[in-house]
Amino acid sequence: MAERSNWRAIVSAFLVGVAGAVQVGRVAPAAAFIQEELHLDLPTIGWLISLITLATALLGLLSGHWVLRIGLRMSLATGALMMGVCAIISAFASSAPILIGARVIEGLGYLIVVVAAPTLIAREAAQKDSSLALAMWGTFFTLGLSIAAFAGGFLLDKIGWRGWFLASTGFVFLTAVAAMVSIPRDSRLAGSRSQNWKMIVATPKSAWLLGAAFLGLTLLTLATLSLLPIFLVQEHDLTPSAAGSATGGVALASIAGSLCYGAFANRLSEAVIVSGASISLVVCAFPTFADDATANQIVLFACVAIFMSGILIAQTFASVPRVAGAPRFIGPSNGLVAQLGSVGALTGPPLIGGLIAYADWKAVPFAVSGFTLSYAALFVLALKSENGQP
């Protein structure tokens, strides 16, 4: 950790992460338009939403070592540029295979960003600011999804889904430039493949448990936020623009939850926080997808549920240095958490989309309940494991 926090570098890394999350979320508000123009079914739309996380789901742990070798500054800029270029390709796509291929390649850039950014933040933050900086990083995903929902909902009626995809690249390119200007150069770390493998094997068991917990949390969060616009359009006759704006407001609740985590952490134990947030999330999931609920009631209960998920997201990222056990494992642990979380993000929308197609929207709260409880149990086990002790 640094002796004095470099907030310029920390904020720049955070913004690159937000730009990456915007790319994750840019398909959801446009889903109805893409589905109509390209004649796609709901599971395919789910894959388009989540395939950006494929590379992270497969290579997250390994990339934790790789980004250190090429440099965190260069990694962030390269990842952002890759996402921007692929978004441009997607904007001109004329078929589902082109969209899917661009989405997969875009995921490589996203992988680089979500592993390098929190590692750089942990490096550039002083010990007294570490929890705050990492809790701030915990808001990047839902902040990006919220921006995508609001901006997408506003721009879709004016410039169409292709224009929206092009517009989203501007933010990505700006953050890449800011990263190059604001983040200090860092040297590459030498290391052989055998050394990298030894580091992978030595990654603490507590980091694996934390990553497994995060898998279920990202699955339920992304699936809920990604499919909520479709639910509001299909079941409650909202326009795509109105549904996108409502979902953006719901996503903002997660940011509020993440920012509130710091206050809770100073007063309550981690076990109390995870228990209270998990129970509240499960309780609110049922009225969110109730048949007899009004659109306003759905948005209200969804806000509470996503607020609670925001608390759990911040709790996860703030716990990474603790479960890593040693500074040299923070990067690999971030990579592992990102990898397993991306497995959830990758499989969540198509899995829940298939569940809806088979059993209707009433099944969603039961899926949310199961994955929330899995998060709570695995998180507690991560903290209780030997390597997870302070």
Q: What is the mean pLDDT of residues 349-377?
A: 87
**Three-state SS letters, 249-302:** HHHHHHHHHHHHHHHHHCCCCHHHHHHHHHHHHHHHHHHHCCCCCCHHHHHHHH
For the chain, domains (ranges, CATH) are 7-381 (1.20.1250.20)
Per-residue pLDDT tens digits for 296-352: 899 999 999 999 999 999 889 888 878 877 766 776 787 788 788 878 877 777 788
Q: How far is 310 from 262, CA to CA, in rounded Å?
A: 12
Q: Residue 96: what pLDDT?
A: 83
> Does the structure show a pLDDT above 60 at 366?
yes
Q: How far is 380 from 323, CA to CA, in rounded Å?
A: 11
Q: Residue 22: what pLDDT?
A: 92
Position with higher pLDDT, 291 vs 328: 291
DSSP string, 191-220: --HHHHHHHHHHS-HHHHHHHHHHHHHHHH
DSSP string, 229-244: HHHHHHHH---HHHHH
Predicted TM-score (pTM) of the model is: 0.74
Per-residue pLDDT tens digits for 204-254: 788 889 999 999 898 888 778 777 888 888 888 788 778 877 887 888 888
Q: Residue 188: what pLDDT?
A: 54
Give the helix ranges, DSSP H, for the chain.
7-25, 31-38, 42-50, 54-70, 72-91, 96-124, 130-137, 140-182, 193-202, 205-236, 240-265, 270-288, 295-324, 330-359, 364-384
